[in-house]
């Protein structure tokens, strides 16, 4: 592939990944406890350019970029009062534990409810766990003491979707559970919209480069054909 085409194409692919992340973030701007993702780009490397006749070094040429890593911003967000007795927010660090079909997973979304069997469950019907890993019963008055909920320290939290994380818990986290409150989403809609616009502009710029290169290559091919046929 022509190096210029590769550079433009890899840049567009990287911006597609960024756009998908920003779109997902924006759709979760009102999801309690949601955490945003940030991807960093890295170069594939550079080619050393030399004069074919003299061997003189002319410089280097980048071979494009790729997504190097994706990091989830786990910084705690402010809590918002809801007045709902089964809403819980963690002030500080830590995660709630829930038992899913795939095993124990973790979340910062404390929008819980009472199941038909009397257990405290999350929005997906997964039982919420105590620090000892046991289901939590909802009291006769439809309440649960904040102290009943586990707050797990998760140093290697990995996002899995549905606002859930996996990882190996390392004891109790330092955060405290507040009842009648929910953690706000970590998304800043205004900043995310600006980032989306910038990303789209970068993608469009790459697309224009590809179109220009394609037109140039077509003209070159036509010129070669004309010379050969003359």
What is the distance between the alpha carbons of residues 58 and 49, in angstroms, rounded to a whole number? 5
Whole-angstrom Cα distance, residue 18 to residue 22?
6
* Residues whose CB falls within 8 Å of the CB of residue 1, separated by 6 or more in sequence, listed in order: 9
End-to-end Cα spacing for the chain: 29
Provide long-range contacts, Cβ within 8 A and 24+ apart, for 152-155: 152/94, 152/95, 152/96, 152/97, 152/106, 153/93, 153/94, 154/94, 154/95, 154/106
The residue ranges of the chain whose pLDDT is under 70 are 1-8, 40-68, 210, 213-214, 217, 220-230
Q: Say what the pLDDT of residue 13 is.
A: 80
Q: Are 135 and 128 in contact (CB under 8 A)?
A: yes
Residue 211 has a pLDDT of 74
Report domain extents, the chain: 3-73+187-229, 79-183
Q: Are 27 and 187 in contact (CB under 8 A)?
A: no
Q: State the chain's mean pLDDT as an integer.
A: 85
Structure tokens at 103: 């095993």
Query: How far apart are alpha carbons 225 and 20 in whole angstroms?
Result: 43
Q: What is the pTM of this model?
A: 0.74
């Amino acid at each position: 592939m022509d190096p210029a085409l590769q550079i433009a194409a890899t840049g567009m692919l990287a911006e597609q990944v960024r756009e998908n992340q920003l779109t997902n973030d924006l759709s979760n701007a009102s999801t309690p406890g949601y955490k945003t993702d940030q991807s960093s780009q890295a170069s594939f490397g550079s080619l050393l350019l030399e004069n074919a006749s003299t061997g003189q070094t002319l410089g280097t040429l980048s071979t494009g970029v790729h997504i190097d890593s994706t990091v989830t911003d786990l910084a705690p967000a402010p809590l918002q009062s809801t007045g709902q007795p089964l809403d819980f927010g963690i002030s500080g660090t830590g995660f709630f534990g829930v038992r899913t079909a795939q095993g124990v997973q973790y979340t910062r979304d404390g929008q819980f409810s009472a199941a038909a069997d009397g257990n405290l469950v999350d929005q997906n019907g997964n039982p919420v766990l105590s620090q000892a890993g046991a289901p939590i019963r909802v009291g006769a008055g439809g309440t649960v003491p904040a102290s009943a909920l586990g707050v797990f320290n998760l140093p290697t939290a990995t996002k899995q979707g549905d606002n859930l994380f996996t990882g190996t818990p390392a004891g109790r986290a330092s955060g405290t559970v507040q009842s009648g409150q929910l953690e706000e989403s970590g998304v800043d809609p205004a900043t995310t919209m600006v980032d989306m616009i910038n990303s789209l502009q970068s993608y469009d710029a790459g697309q224009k480069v590809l179109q220009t290169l394609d037109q140039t290559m077509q003209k070159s091919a036509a010129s070669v054909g004309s010379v050969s046929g003359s």
